[in-house]
Amino acid sequence: MYDLKLSITKKCNLKCIYCHYTDKDQKDKDLPYEFWERVLREYKSLDLDFIKEKKVTLTGGEALLHKDFWKILKLSKDLNFYVSLPTNGSLLTPEIVKSFKKYEVDDVIIAFDGNKENHDKLRGEGSFDKAYEGARLIASSGIKLLVTTCLTKLNYKDLPEVVKLAKDLGAKLVIVFHYISLGRGKKYFSQGELSKEEILESLFEIYQLSQKYKDSLEICTTTVPQYWVLLQFMYEKSKYVPKYFSKVFPGCRAVLDFVYVTSTGEVYPCPLIQDSLGSLKDFSLKDILSSNKAKLYASRDYFKVCKTCKYKEICGGCKARKDVLCPYLLEGINLRVNYV
């Protein structure tokens, strides 16, 4: 399902120390409803070979802070898109959740970045309890709840605790990000990225947790597409693989399976690849997605090391990283996979 990620505002009520936005970004003026209406209607009629089913993610900042949020949400559903809403959860109330239900929001994504202590260190004092209450409201409403977590030097050992929390809340999926230092993170959390060794360890922990909770929720990862190689090894050995392994787009999804539209109308290959493919103020979405620059980011040969790799079609490396992490990760996966 192709995902048009719309960052409709950079405004946010939290100041997470690792955010890929900067403090200055939050002062940008939001584009009006009329702009987003044009983008959504154009997306509805978009006809490209690699886009079949269409999804819209309304994000921010905190999307709820856009003055026309409810109009944008309503139009997204009126156009019959699958709609996903990432939120920090702190602004959710029973009334807001009832409105989500009324508009038939398809899923809500809430982040838990470690245990309570570490989450609050990263996102602000008291934010864990507010996120928990928001997640509880979503789950009890019957709306599909997804949980994200961002692994950093501070909290990566908390992953089992986060997954158990997600399971207890009734979440259907845990999405694991591996922190990349950008935006505010460069200033306040520049040493927060995991080492290659820690990333490798985390991939096997993600797999083992997936096995443990296979009957209740799935766990996937992003910014380390080499995880798909680990899953491929397991599949070939007739071992457990999650259901999404054969259903969703594998590896790096930039351009091929989603793009990110900033609050100023620029189209990025990915939220973390902060290189504009063009502005929707000047060009159509179709022209931008068909451009040579978009094709460059969609290529599985983007990194030199990928060109001769037999796993490039299920991986492709993370293009938001300066270091593709290979061959280290592939060699490590190959050496350790027989012991799982």
Closest CA to 227 of 151, 299, 298: 151
pLDDT tens digits for range 87-111: 999 999 999 999 999 999 999 999 9
CB distance 268 to 276 below 8 Å: yes
Average pLDDT, the chain: 96
Tell me which H or E stretch contains 173.
Answer: strand 173-178
Residue of 170, 130, 179, 128 lying closest to 147 (CA atoms): 170
Separation between Cα atoms, residue 127 and residue 302, nearest integer Å: 38
pLDDT score at 339: 84
pLDDT over 70 (residue 261): yes
pLDDT at 7: 98
- The whole-number average pLDDT for the span 180-193 is 95
Give me the mean pLDDT over the 132-144 stretch.
98
- C-alpha 224/C-alpha 236 separation (Å) is 20
Residues 19-29 have a mean pLDDT of: 77
Instruction: Identify the pLDDT of residue 25.
Output: 61
- pLDDT band with cut points at 50, 70 and 90 for residue 270: very high
pLDDT average, residue stretch 249-270: 97
Residue 192 has pLDDT above 80, yes or no: yes
Tokens at residue 280, please?
């929707």
SS3 assignment, position 56: strand
Q: How many CB atoms lie within 10 A of CB 69?
A: 20
Asked if residue 160 has a cis previous peptide bond (ω within 30° of 0), the answer is: no
Q: What is the pLDDT of residue 26?
A: 61
3 state SS of 290: coil
Full strand arrangement of the beta sheet holding 144-151: 218-222, 173-178, 144-151, 107-111, 82-87, 54-59, 2-7, 258-261, 267-268
Q: Quick one: how far is CA 225 from the chain centroid?
A: 13
Candidate from 25-34, 102-111, 190-199 with smallest mean pLDDT: 25-34
Quote the CA–CA distance of 80 and 295 in Å, as a whole number.
28
- Segment 197-217 shows an average pLDDT of 97
Q: Is the pLDDT of residue 13 over 80?
A: yes
Question: pLDDT category, 27, cuts 50, 70, 90?
Answer: low
Quote the percentage of the chain above a pLDDT of 90. 96
Tell me the average pLDDT across 264-274. Answer: 97
Structure tokens at 204: 């096997």
Q: List pLDDT tens digits, range 55-73.
A: 999 999 999 999 999 999 9
Indicate whether 23 pLDDT > 80: no
Interior/surface letters 234-270, b for 16+ CB within 10 angstroms, e for the rest: beeeeeebbeebeeeebbbbbbbbbbbbbbbbbbbbb
**Per-residue pLDDT tens digits for 286-303:** 999 999 999 999 999 999
pLDDT of 204 strictly over 80: yes
